[in-house]
Amino acid sequence: MNGDRFRPNDKRRRRAGAIFKAVCLTSIAFSILMLALLLLDVVVDGWSWLSIDFLTRYPSRIPERAGIKSAILGSLWMMGLTALFAFPTGVGAAIYLEEYAPKNWLTRILQTNIANLAGVPSIVYGILGLAIFVRYFGLGRSVIAGALTLALLILPVIIIASQEAVKAVPTSLREASYGVGATKWQTIRYHVFPVALPGILTGTILSLSRAIGETAPLIMIGALTFIAFPPTSPMDPFTVLPIQIFNWTAKPQAEFHELAAAAIIVLLVVLLAMNATAIFLRSRYQKRI
């Protein structure tokens, strides 16, 4: 009979809770809706333009004859070279920071610096690439200049992901290796690295999927938009899928917008495949530990 005194405004408080929960759900629904709208927009616009011919033809001023062969090959070159530069450097830096670095001011600076680099806008990396690789080293508007720029861009992401993976390797493994007489490098090479590898690969693939979607830094280093041939060496000029998409989207004609949508579908499929690979690696890795 005294219950009322201990439950003041109970109904109102529960109603406020229900409203709040509905607001939160609406937010989630908003994100899902936006993703759905974006995908729908792209698929509706671009689906009818997708064909084998679209994938195997070179860009053209005439929409009906345009294709993305040079963009696809350019993106593959870009991805391969970027991985070649960024993977060893990133993993090396991560191993240094986790296994070798003494706890001093220099290490703290390295670590803070990496965290800050991850937040630098990609277009600033483009300015860096333009000044250093394109002009100072004289690499010109080449695949290699683009790949070096993108490698610097994704390096912090690879380092941070690899550090997490190396950190997750149990210390007992290292101790056992030292116990049988292995040196530090042998321990890392044969015991720490193989166990950390799936985590490192997951981080690398995710960061590469970011690199393959990057546009701004490559525009900065002067990646040409109308390239009717694929690169045959790292010193060749190039175009990539996002630049081709940007080029077509920036045109006023609706046909070119639809071509852009078709190219976006191809780009998203590639990204999805890379993400699926990363998730697959992650789940396998989680099962093993």
Partner 1 sequence: MNGSSPGGAASAALPPGEPLDLSHRAGRRWGERVIAAALFLCGLVSVLTTVGIVVVLVTESAGFFREIPLLEFLTGTRWSPLFADQHFGILPLLNGTMLIALGAMLIALPVGLTSAIYLSEYASLRVRGVIKPVLEVLAGIPTVVYGYFALTFVTPIIRAIFPQTGIFNAASGAIVVGIMIIPMVASLSEDALNAVPQSLREAAYGLGGTKFEVSTKVVVPAALSGIVASFILAISRAIGETMAVTLAAGATPKMTLNFLESVQTMTAYIVQISLGETPHGTLEYSTIFAVGLVLFLITLGMNLLSQRITRKFREVYE
The minimum distance between CB 215 and partner 1, in angstroms, equals 5
Residues 202-221 that bind partner 1 (CB under 8 A): 206, 209-210, 213-216, 219-220
List of residues 6+ apart from 261 with CB closer than 8 A: 41, 42, 43, 44, 45, 46, 49
In the complex with partner 1, the residue whose CB is nearer, 21 or 65, is: 21
How many residues in the shown chain lie near partner 1 by CB under 8 A? 89
Q: Whole-angstrom Cα distance, residue 77 to residue 40?
A: 30
> Of the listed pieces 47-55, 69-77, 166-174, 270-278, which binds partner 1 according to CB under 8 A?
270-278
The minimum distance between CB 24 and partner 1, in angstroms, equals 4
Q: Whole-angstrom Cα distance, residue 32 to residue 203?
A: 25
> Of the listed pieces 55-63, 68-76, 194-202, 254-262, which binds partner 1 according to CB under 8 A?
254-262
List of residues 6+ apart from 289 with CB closer than 8 A: 168
Q: Whole-angstrom Cα distance, residue 152 to residue 139?
A: 16
Q: Which of 171, 154, 151 is nearest to 98 (CA)?
A: 171
The minimum distance between CB 204 and partner 1, in angstroms, equals 14
Pick the binder of partner 1 from 227, 261, 262, 266 (CB under 8 A). Answer: 261
In the complex with partner 1, the residue whose CB is nearer, 20 or 232, is: 20
176 is a site residue for partner 1 (CB under 8 A): no
21 is a site residue for partner 1 (CB under 8 A): yes
7 CB neighbour count, 10 Å cutoff: 9
